[in-house]
Amino acid sequence: DAGVIQSPRHEVTEMGQEVTLRCKPISGHDYLFWYRQTMMRGLELLIYFNNNVPIDDSGMPEDRFSAKMPNASFSTLKIQPSEPRDSAVYFCASSPRTGKPDTQYFGPGTRLTVL
Amino acid sequence: GNSVTQMEGPVTLSEEAFLTINCTYTATGYPSLFWYVQYPGEGLQLLLKATKADDKGSNKGFEATYRKETTSFHLEKGSVQVSDSAVYFCAAYNNAGNMLTFGGGTRLMVKP
């Protein structure tokens, strides 16, 4: 298996622009998670899906952030408009166990820089 | 919900030294406990886990024992290598919320 795939690996954009991050989970996994990692705040859970349905989005910073999972093999995290404080590494992770997603498989991350 | 506290780093050791990274948790009930490792430029990888009290998780020479009485899950390795240099995250799984709660991470630097 190729593991969790994220694209792009690096994104540099200017403040105010729309940014879309993409994730392909491991085939057959039921859960998908989006995390953000910064030096100041560490690793934060933004949102997670179960069987393509958003379950908990309480970690999403504000309305500028949105996430979708149109099918079992694809998810997006969108920031519109982007701000410099959104600069971080964004990780996608998936988990194979229905009902107990305690073991997660992380993608390589997308490093976002907002100028 | 759960909370996880790790010792702050960086931890700097010489090759073949003994490693301990402390981790304590607070939780309702008995969560499953994990150590994840993040190598430079990569995502987190599961290193080991333990699902109940007194269980010992082990992998690649690392081990950690689930201590209910001290609510701890300290990571140890008898002889570290330069290739072990990475950031280590302790985590607890919340059965009610289906979420992993991560500690702040501890950077380990091993010098030749």
What tens digit of pLDDT does each residue of B58-101 get? 999 999 999 999 999 999 999 999 999 999 999 998 776 668 88
Task: Tell me if A101 and B98 make a contact (CB, 8 A cut-off).
Answer: yes
Task: Tell me if B43 and A103 make a contact (CB, 8 A cut-off).
Answer: no
Q: What is the mean pLDDT of residues B50-56?
A: 93
Within the 7-66 window of chain B, which residues sit less than 8 Å (CB to CB) from chain A? 32, 34, 36, 41-46, 49
- Which amino acid belongs to residue A53? V
Hey, which residues does A10 pair with through a beta bridge?
A111
Query: How near does any CA of chain B get to the CA of A82, in Å?
Result: 23
Residue A113, both tokens: 């820089």
- Which amino acid belongs to residue A21? L
Give pLDDT, residue B28.
80
Give pLDDT, residue A61.
87
Read off the pLDDT of residues B3-40 as tens digits, 9 standing for 90 and up.
899 988 899 999 999 999 999 999 888 899 999 999 99
Q: Does A108 touch chain B (CB under 8 A)?
A: yes
* Of B44, B93, B102, Cβ closest to residue A102: B93
Chain A residues within an 8 Å CB radius of B104: 42
Q: State what percent of residues in chain B have pLDDT above 90.
A: 78
Residue whose entry in the numeric block shows the structure tokens 């790790």: B6
Read off the pLDDT of residues A21-78 as tens digits, 9 standing for 90 and up.
999 999 999 999 999 999 888 899 999 999 999 999 999 988 999 999 999 999 999 9
- CA diameter of chain B: 44
Mark residue B84 as left, alpha or beta (left: phi above 0; alpha: psi -120 to 50; beta: remaining): alpha
Task: Tell me if B42 and A45 make a contact (CB, 8 A cut-off).
Answer: no
d(CA A114, CA B64): 39
